Every structure is written in C-alpha cells, then in structure tokens.
Chain A
Amino acid sequence: GENVEQHPSTLSVQEGDSAVIKCTYSDSASNYFPWYKQELGKRPQLIIDIRSNVGEKKDQRIAVTLNKTAKHFSLHITETQPEDSAVYFCAASTSSGSRLTFGEGTQLTVNP
C-alpha cells in the first residue's frame, strides 16, 4: 500500500519568514495530494491540494509543488504569521473517493 513520509517533524520560524514542509510517497498511482492544518484539539482543515496533472498551485501565502518523477510534494508558506502555528499533515490518494494516506505531521511554530 501507499506510504507517505513527511519532514521535518518540527519546524520553528520567525514571523515573516518562509516555511517549507516536504513529503514523499511510494505509490506511483497516487494522483491527489491534499494538505491539512490541525490546530490543537481541532479538526483537520483542508488548506490546499494538488492533482497529478499540475506541477504547482498557489493560494495567497500558501503554495504546493509536486514532482511526480521523484514522488515528492512540498508545502510552502510565505510571510508566516503566529496564527499559522499548527500541525500540518500531507496526504495522498490514488483515485477520487479513495482513502487518504497521511504523513506523520509537522508541528510548525511561528515566533512573533
């Protein structure tokens, strides 16, 4: 089955700096890659996603890149703010409606 690895497990940045979180996946059939933000005690919230027919997607301060050949994808957050502090999870799935396989998560701390 699919295996998703995520790093780093913790990331601390100064407010205004950029943050990058990287994930690799094992199943070449995976074609959908969402990113979720989970604040302490809250539900995972979908913040951005990318499909395998696209190499990059941007939404304001958040961008995701996908390298299908290398089977890795990354989350980029620019101009970080303290409210960006949370655990971020990457995930992968092989088809519409199928299970998501999650990475282990990255605890991002943005210091004011």
Chain B
Amino acid sequence: GAGVSQTPSNKVTEKGKYVELRCDPISGHTALYWYRQSLGQGPEFLIYFQGTGAADDSGLPNDRFFAVRPEGSVSTLKIQRTERGDSAMYLCASSFGGRDEQFFGPGTRLTVL
C-alpha cells in the first residue's frame, strides 16, 4: 500500500511568513509523529498524535509551532512568523496503534530566507 506522504516536498519562504506542512499517514495508522531534522543530525521529536488529540507536544520549540489532526488522519504542521533557524527537513511518521514501528515520509525541506 501507499506509504506516508508529505507535501510540499520543498518550501521556500521569507522570514516572518506563515507556512503549513501537510502529512498523509499510512491508511489505518492511528499514531502520527512530526520530527525535525537539521543537516548532519538525527531527527528531533516535535509532536505526537494518537487519533485526533496531541498525546505529547513537548518537543515543539516554542508557541510559533502548532499542529492539528482534526479527523485523525491527515495532519498539518503550522509555523508562524518563520525564522531562519526554522530551516530544516520536517519529517512525518506514522504507526499502527499500539505498535512500535514508525514509518517515515519523504519530508518537507523548509528554507526560510
């Protein structure tokens, strides 16, 4: 079946702008995760959804970052007032409820000029 998909694949924006990044998890996966990966580093956890609710949002760096998953499937990561330091690869992963294995999407490369 189809894997995790993310759109757009690349996003270039200017400092101060608002961006939305979308994640479509594997069908039937109830858990969804967002990670951020800077060049040469491992992914860093941002937020985890179980169904529609955020079960753990302790990785969000500040209140400019917000994520939703209104129907328990697609999720949107929203970044307000973007800063150059937000430039990174944003990865989404999903897993079947109660299972450990997380499957990653191809990521969205965000560049803030």
* Chain A residues near B (Cβ < 8 Å): 4, 6, 32, 34, 36, 42-46, 49, 51, 89, 91, 93, 96-105
Q: Are A96 and B43 in contact (CB under 8 A)?
A: no
Q: Give 23 A-B contacts (CB < 8 Å), ordered by A residue.
A: A34-B102, A43-B4, A43-B105, A43-B106, A44-B43, A44-B104, A45-B104, A46-B103, A49-B100, A49-B101, A89-B42, A89-B43, A97-B48, A97-B95, A97-B97, A98-B48, A99-B45, A100-B43, A100-B102, A101-B45, A102-B44, A103-B42, A105-B41
Contact B42 A105 (CB under 8 A): yes
Residues of A close to B45: CB separation below 8 A: 99-101
Residue positions of B touching A, CB distance < 8 A? 4, 31, 33, 35, 40-45, 48, 50, 55-56, 59, 91, 95, 97-107
Contact A42 B106 (CB under 8 A): yes
Return the chain A residue nearest B103 by Cβ: A46
Q: Contacts A44-B91, A44-B104, A46-B102; is A99 near B43 (CB within 8 Å)?
A: no
Extra contacts, 8 of them, besides A44-B43, A97-B97, A105-B40 (Cβ < 8 A), are: A34-B102, A43-B4, A43-B104, A46-B101, A93-B100, A97-B100, A98-B56, A104-B42
Q: Which residue of chain B has its CB nearest to the CB of A46?
A: B101
Question: In the docked arrangement, what's the CA distance between A6 and B4, Å?
Answer: 27
Cα–Cα, bound, A98→B98 (Å): 9
Bound CA span A102–B56, Å: 17
